[in-house]
């Protein structure tokens, strides 16, 4: 589940960057999830993404940051 959410965020982010001509050189994420018993079943109660992105020098850093928020 955590990997699926991380992958979904990455693909959305990369698509937004491509549309805005932001060249992503590297993307990594150290996503973590927290599970607990809820309603008698083990469920994810929290997932936190920690993406780290390197863009091509000269590309718009502010647009790259905004793209991260749009990818949610």
Residues 56/13, Cβ–Cβ less than 8 Å:
no
Alpha-carbon torsion 47, 48, 49, 50, what sign? negative
- Which domains, and CATH codes, for the chain? 2-70 (3.30.300.20)
pLDDT at position 38 over 90:
no
Q: Which residue has the tokens 């150290």?
A: 30
pLDDT digits (tens, 9 = 90+) for 3-27: 999 999 999 999 999 999 999 999 9
pTM of the model: 0.87
Contacts of 56 (CB under 8 A, 6+ apart): 22, 23, 24, 25
């Amino acid at each position: 589940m955590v990997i699926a959410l991380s992958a979904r965020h990455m693909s959305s982010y990369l698509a937004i960057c491509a549309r805005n001509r932001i060249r992503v050189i590297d993307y990594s994420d150290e996503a973590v999830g927290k599970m607990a018993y809820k309603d008698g079943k083990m469920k994810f109660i929290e997932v936190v993404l920690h993406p780290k992105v390197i863009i091509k020098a000269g590309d718009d850093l502010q647009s790259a940051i905004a793209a991260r928020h749009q990818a949610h």
